[in-house]
Amino acid sequence: MSAAPLHRRDVVRDILAPRKPELLVVGGLGSPSWDITATADNPRDFCLIGAMGLAVPVGLGLANAQPDNRILVITGDGDMLMGMGALATVANVHPRNLMIVVLDNERYGETGGQPTHTAGVTDLSAIATGAGIPTAATIRSQDELTVMIRNIHEGDGPAFYVVKIATEMPGTVLPSLDGAFAKDRFRMAVLGKA
Protein backbone atom coordinates (compact mmCIF):
# COMPACT_ATOMS: atom_id res chain seq x y z
CA MET A 1 0.00 0.00 0.00
CA SER A 2 1.59 3.28 -1.03
CA ALA A 3 0.92 6.45 0.94
CA ALA A 4 -1.22 9.25 -0.50
CA PRO A 5 1.04 11.64 -2.37
CA LEU A 6 2.36 14.68 -0.57
CA HIS A 7 1.55 18.05 -2.10
CA ARG A 8 4.32 20.63 -2.28
CA ARG A 9 2.37 23.69 -1.09
CA ASP A 10 1.02 21.76 1.91
CA VAL A 11 4.46 20.36 2.72
CA VAL A 12 6.11 23.79 2.70
CA ARG A 13 3.27 25.38 4.67
CA ASP A 14 3.52 22.60 7.30
CA ILE A 15 7.31 22.92 7.50
CA LEU A 16 7.10 26.67 8.05
CA ALA A 17 4.06 26.68 10.38
CA PRO A 18 6.02 26.19 13.64
CA ARG A 19 8.79 28.61 12.68
CA LYS A 20 10.46 30.70 15.36
CA PRO A 21 12.23 34.02 14.70
CA GLU A 22 15.59 32.22 14.67
CA LEU A 23 14.64 30.36 11.47
CA LEU A 24 16.11 31.79 8.26
CA VAL A 25 15.05 30.22 4.97
CA VAL A 26 16.91 30.00 1.66
CA GLY A 27 14.74 28.99 -1.32
CA GLY A 28 16.11 27.28 -4.43
CA LEU A 29 15.28 28.78 -7.81
CA GLY A 30 11.83 28.37 -9.30
CA SER A 31 9.01 26.37 -7.80
CA PRO A 32 10.45 25.95 -4.26
CA SER A 33 10.72 29.75 -4.03
CA TRP A 34 7.11 30.07 -5.21
CA ASP A 35 6.03 27.58 -2.50
CA ILE A 36 7.85 29.57 0.19
CA THR A 37 6.36 32.85 -1.04
CA ALA A 38 2.87 31.31 -1.22
CA THR A 39 3.18 30.46 2.48
CA ALA A 40 4.27 33.99 3.42
CA ASP A 41 6.34 36.79 1.95
CA ASN A 42 8.64 36.77 4.99
CA PRO A 43 11.66 39.11 5.17
CA ARG A 44 13.63 36.35 6.94
CA ASP A 45 13.45 34.25 3.76
CA PHE A 46 15.78 34.71 0.80
CA CYS A 47 14.55 33.21 -2.46
CA LEU A 48 16.87 32.52 -5.38
CA ILE A 49 15.41 33.08 -8.82
CA GLY A 50 18.56 32.07 -10.68
CA ALA A 51 22.01 30.71 -9.80
CA MET A 52 20.82 27.12 -10.23
CA GLY A 53 22.72 24.66 -8.06
CA LEU A 54 23.61 27.22 -5.39
CA ALA A 55 20.80 26.99 -2.83
CA VAL A 56 22.82 24.75 -0.51
CA PRO A 57 26.04 26.81 -0.76
CA VAL A 58 24.10 30.00 0.04
CA GLY A 59 22.63 28.22 3.07
CA LEU A 60 26.07 27.06 4.15
CA GLY A 61 27.63 30.53 3.98
CA LEU A 62 24.67 31.91 5.93
CA ALA A 63 24.93 29.11 8.53
CA ASN A 64 28.63 29.92 9.02
CA ALA A 65 27.88 33.62 9.45
CA GLN A 66 24.84 33.17 11.73
CA PRO A 67 25.66 30.38 14.20
CA ASP A 68 22.88 31.45 16.57
CA ASN A 69 20.19 31.18 13.92
CA ARG A 70 18.81 28.06 12.31
CA ILE A 71 19.10 27.92 8.52
CA LEU A 72 16.66 25.94 6.37
CA VAL A 73 17.31 25.41 2.66
CA ILE A 74 14.23 24.39 0.67
CA THR A 75 15.07 23.49 -2.89
CA GLY A 76 14.22 21.19 -5.81
CA ASP A 77 15.73 17.94 -7.03
CA GLY A 78 16.98 19.63 -10.20
CA ASP A 79 18.78 22.35 -8.24
CA MET A 80 20.25 19.75 -5.87
CA LEU A 81 21.46 17.51 -8.70
CA MET A 82 23.32 20.47 -10.24
CA GLY A 83 25.25 21.14 -7.04
CA MET A 84 25.67 17.74 -5.41
CA GLY A 85 29.30 18.43 -4.53
CA ALA A 86 28.03 20.94 -1.97
CA LEU A 87 26.72 18.01 0.10
CA ALA A 88 30.31 16.85 0.62
CA THR A 89 31.29 20.39 1.56
CA VAL A 90 28.39 20.65 4.03
CA ALA A 91 29.25 17.27 5.56
CA ASN A 92 32.85 18.30 6.17
CA VAL A 93 32.06 21.78 7.49
CA HIS A 94 29.38 20.12 9.65
CA PRO A 95 27.18 23.14 10.49
CA ARG A 96 24.90 22.17 13.39
CA ASN A 97 22.43 24.88 12.36
CA LEU A 98 21.86 23.85 8.73
CA MET A 99 18.85 21.85 7.54
CA ILE A 100 18.22 20.95 3.90
CA VAL A 101 14.89 19.89 2.37
CA VAL A 102 14.67 18.78 -1.27
CA LEU A 103 11.16 18.88 -2.74
CA ASP A 104 11.57 15.92 -5.06
CA ASN A 105 8.94 15.79 -7.81
CA GLU A 106 11.40 13.79 -9.94
CA ARG A 107 10.97 16.53 -12.53
CA TYR A 108 12.40 19.79 -13.79
CA GLY A 109 8.99 21.21 -12.98
CA GLU A 110 9.63 24.81 -13.86
CA THR A 111 10.82 24.02 -17.38
CA GLY A 112 8.00 21.71 -18.42
CA GLY A 113 8.29 18.67 -16.21
CA GLN A 114 11.10 16.78 -17.90
CA PRO A 115 12.21 13.81 -15.71
CA THR A 116 15.31 14.28 -13.54
CA HIS A 117 17.67 11.46 -12.56
CA THR A 118 15.67 10.92 -9.36
CA ALA A 119 12.88 9.62 -11.63
CA GLY A 120 15.43 7.05 -12.70
CA VAL A 121 17.87 5.24 -10.43
CA THR A 122 19.34 8.13 -8.40
CA ASP A 123 18.76 8.34 -4.63
CA LEU A 124 19.64 11.80 -3.27
CA SER A 125 19.44 10.87 0.41
CA ALA A 126 21.86 7.96 -0.19
CA ILE A 127 24.18 10.46 -1.85
CA ALA A 128 23.90 12.75 1.20
CA THR A 129 24.69 9.81 3.47
CA GLY A 130 27.66 8.90 1.31
CA ALA A 131 28.81 12.51 1.40
CA GLY A 132 28.94 12.18 5.18
CA ILE A 133 25.80 14.04 6.30
CA PRO A 134 24.82 12.26 9.54
CA THR A 135 21.03 12.62 9.24
CA ALA A 136 19.58 11.88 5.80
CA ALA A 137 16.20 10.39 4.92
CA THR A 138 13.57 10.14 2.22
CA ILE A 139 10.08 11.18 3.34
CA ARG A 140 7.03 9.62 1.68
CA SER A 141 4.17 9.91 4.17
CA GLN A 142 2.48 12.44 6.43
CA ASP A 143 3.77 10.57 9.51
CA GLU A 144 7.35 10.73 8.31
CA LEU A 145 6.83 14.39 7.46
CA THR A 146 5.71 15.15 11.02
CA VAL A 147 8.89 13.62 12.46
CA MET A 148 11.00 15.51 9.91
CA ILE A 149 9.37 18.85 10.76
CA ARG A 150 10.10 18.40 14.46
CA ASN A 151 13.73 17.64 13.71
CA ILE A 152 14.06 20.62 11.37
CA HIS A 153 13.02 22.99 14.16
CA GLU A 154 14.64 21.24 17.11
CA GLY A 155 17.23 18.71 15.97
CA ASP A 156 20.94 18.97 15.28
CA GLY A 157 22.24 19.63 11.79
CA PRO A 158 23.49 19.07 9.30
CA ALA A 159 20.39 17.15 8.22
CA PHE A 160 19.15 16.37 4.73
CA TYR A 161 15.63 15.33 3.75
CA VAL A 162 14.22 14.37 0.38
CA VAL A 163 10.45 14.82 0.38
CA LYS A 164 8.81 12.90 -2.45
CA ILE A 165 5.98 15.09 -3.77
CA ALA A 166 3.31 14.90 -6.47
CA THR A 167 4.25 16.29 -9.89
CA GLU A 168 1.55 18.99 -9.84
CA MET A 169 2.59 22.60 -10.46
CA PRO A 170 0.36 24.75 -8.24
CA GLY A 171 1.19 28.05 -9.94
CA THR A 172 3.76 30.80 -9.75
CA VAL A 173 3.74 33.02 -6.67
CA LEU A 174 6.56 35.45 -7.25
CA PRO A 175 8.67 37.07 -4.58
CA SER A 176 10.25 40.38 -5.61
CA LEU A 177 12.36 39.77 -8.70
CA ASP A 178 14.75 42.50 -7.56
CA GLY A 179 17.59 40.62 -5.87
CA ALA A 180 19.08 43.81 -4.44
CA PHE A 181 15.80 44.59 -2.68
CA ALA A 182 15.44 41.00 -1.44
CA LYS A 183 18.98 41.04 -0.08
CA ASP A 184 18.55 44.41 1.66
CA ARG A 185 15.21 43.35 3.13
CA PHE A 186 16.73 40.12 4.47
CA ARG A 187 19.74 41.91 5.98
CA MET A 188 17.49 44.53 7.58
CA ALA A 189 15.41 41.76 9.17
CA VAL A 190 18.39 39.71 10.37
CA LEU A 191 21.14 42.27 10.97
CA GLY A 192 19.17 45.48 11.44
CA LYS A 193 21.07 47.16 8.60
CA ALA A 194 21.08 46.84 4.82
Ligand X SMILES: Cc1ncc(C[n+]2csc(CCOP(=O)(O)OP(=O)(O)O)c2C)c(N)n1
Q: Which residues bind ligand X (CB under 6 A)?
A: 28-32, 50, 52, 76-79, 103, 105, 107-111, 116
Q: Under 8 Å CB-to-CB from 25, ≥6 apart: which residues?
A: 16, 36, 42, 44, 45, 46, 71, 72, 73, 74
Bridge partners (DSSP) of residue 71 are 24, 98
Is the Cβ of residue 75 or residue 97 nearer to ligand X in the bound state? 75
In contact, 95 and 60? CB cutoff 8 Å: yes
Q: Are 172 and 34 in contact (CB under 8 A)?
A: yes
Among 5, 43, 57, 155, binds another protein (CB under 8 A): 57
Smallest gap from Cβ 91 to another protein, in A, equals 11
Window 11-50: contact mask with another protein (x via CB under 8 A): ---------------x-------------------x-xxx
Residue 161 interaction partner, one of ligand X, Mg ion, another protein, none, beta carbon < 5-8 Å per kind: none
> Could you say which of Mg ion, another protein, ligand X, none residue 32 binds, taking C-beta under 5 to 8 angstroms by partner kind?
ligand X
d(CA 47, CA 32): 9
